[in-house]
Structure 1
Amino acid sequence: MDDDITRKIAAAGHDAAQRDEAMRLVYGDLLRIARAELGRHRRGETLNTRALVNEAYLKLFDRDGADFENRKHFFATAARAMRQVAIDYARARLAERRGAGAEHVPLDALEGNPLPVDAQAEQLVGIDAALEKLAGLDTRLVTVVELRFFAGLEVKDIAALLGVSEPTVKRDTRVAKAFLQKELGEA
């Protein structure tokens, strides 16, 4: 099944029918990722799971056809698209409430605990800026963070997607968290 999905995603490109078929095959996975993402952002949000998946779909296929090399590339891109949608939403919320203070939330709050978008939009925007800086140093670290914290994937799933060992994913997570904590502490 994974090979079938990979072929359909890779072939989707410019063909709307093939994109729709690829989307049908991965829609359940994207909903699971969206639920994990939104589970971190509860408490009065207006962005729901299907809206997040639909917005991510538009980001994934808004170019002149999307070229995904394989399943890993597709899901990493989907996780990044969902992160961008959540960050865009947080920025919009900040624009609506300029000047309102928000409490400091440590990076560890992302793991396993809800992080409400409305209440902590500033922290999400700060994390996004730190991730952009980290991307300039090591893109795999950012991919691990996106897949683990934004997409809610388990270490073993990330290892399989990236073709690395579970200890490598755990090590990458520790390195990325240390970098982000340093960046967020200086901000």
Structure 2
Amino acid sequence: MPDTPRNPSADAEITCMLASIREGDTDALRRLVPLVYDDLRAIAHGRISGERNDHTLDTTAVVHEAYVRLVDGEGRDWRDRAHFFAVASSVMRHILIDYARMKGAKKRGGGVVPIPLGEVQAGRDPDFVDVLELHDALERLSMHDERLERIVECRFFGGMSMEETAEALGVSVRTANRDWRRARAYLYDALRS
């Protein structure tokens, strides 16, 4: 998503459809799919691209599972495009965690879904970290500052630009940049040990 040029009219159309969904228009869900599908695929592809060659989770499966969870979820009160993708980021995070736990339960040590640590801590060579370790670190981070956890979900799991992240969280870009630096520093320290 950060590398994709924003289309203000498409953003407005998505926001309009999300408003229709909030008002109970079930047909708006069907019309929303083609507008968000490519972005959801890009997010999912970015998150699973570092996996082993023998993994069974693919981009399409993640997108379909995320979409099912998004539309079947109780709260469909998405404010706008940025908020929708922030929620989608969180959903995809939990899909990856559920997948890693399931794989780990089937085969001890088999639940590793490697994620490039370099994506969390810019400027480092990409090491890989278990998604469950990252999840645990994010859980601890949220106890200190929930917004820092949400910024990681948007940026890392959602692939959102800093501007989109700031918009989704209702903060300035400057605040989002500062929070992103703090979150990465925390995660770097937490995942090194």
TM-score (normalizing by structure 1)? 0.79
Aligned position for 1:151: 158
- One of 28, 45, 49 as aligned partner of 1:39: 49
Amino acid at match of 2:41: L
- Residue 140 of structure 1 deviates from its aligned partner by 2.3
Amino acid at match of 2:48: L
SS at match of 1:43: coil
- One of 77, 99, 103 as aligned partner of 1:93: 103
**Paired residues of 2:70 and 2:88 also in contact (CA < 8 A):** yes
Amino acid at match of 2:101: R
Query: Which is worse superposed, 154-163 or 83-92?
Result: 154-163
- One of 141, 150, 157 as aligned partner of 2:148: 141
Distance 1:159 1:45, change over 3 A: same
Distance 1:18 1:101, change over 3 A: closer
Structure 1: 5+ residue runs without aligned partners?
Answer: none
Where relative contact order (Cα < 8 A, 6+ residues apart) is larger, the structure is 1
- Residue 176 of structure 1 deviates from its aligned partner by 0.8
Structure 1 CA distance for aligned equivalents of residues 34 and 111 of structure 2: 42
Aligned position for 2:131: 124
Aligned residues: 179
Aligned position for 1:19: 29
Distance 1:65 1:164, change over 3 A: closer
**Paired residues of 1:41 and 1:114 also in contact (CA < 8 A):** no
Query: Which is worse superposed, 25-34 or 129-138?
Result: 129-138
**Paired residues of 1:33 and 1:151 also in contact (CA < 8 A):** yes
Identity %: 39
- Residue 156 of structure 1 deviates from its aligned partner by 4.4
| Deviation digits for residues 142-185 of structure 1 (CA, Å, limit 9, x no counterpart) | 22211222222343443454454544333222211222233334
TM-score (normalizing by structure 2)? 0.76
Aligned position for 1:7: 16
